[in-house]
């Protein structure tokens, strides 16, 4: 069996086409993996935020003031202010 220039050219073109196909497939899978990781990170951030919101909602004004770094004596002045306001 004699190998001709047509056979070699066909093999090179076939290899290039299949190489491009697998390259594109790998790029596509990589983009999907990246998008999935971003979606998971956003989901985790939303869950964390829900927990933080629940914690903050359960704090009274004095506890929130102290949690944000206020001095307890100064934060105590907030006690009763919410009731005074209409």
pTM as predicted: 0.44
Alpha carbon distance 64, 74 (integer Å): 12
Per-residue pLDDT of the chain (86 residues; tens, 9 = 90+): 566 777 778 788 888 888 888 777 777 777 777 788 888 898 888 888 888 888 888 888 888 888 888 888 888 887 766 554 54
Alpha carbon distance 30, 11 (integer Å): 28
Alpha carbon distance 68, 61 (integer Å): 11
**Contact present, 62 and 76 (Cβ < 8 Å):** yes
């Amino acid at each position: 069996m004699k190998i001709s220039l047509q056979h070699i050219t066909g093999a090179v073109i076939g290899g290039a086409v299949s190489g491009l196909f697998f390259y594109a497939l790998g790029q596509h899978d990589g983009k999907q993996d990246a998008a999935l990781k971003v979606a998971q990170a956003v989901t985790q951030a939303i869950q964390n935020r829900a927990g933080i919101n629940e914690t903050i909602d359960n704090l009274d004004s004095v506890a929130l003031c102290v949690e944000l770094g206020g001095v307890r004596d100064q934060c105590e002045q907030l006690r009763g202010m919410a009731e005074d306001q209409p």
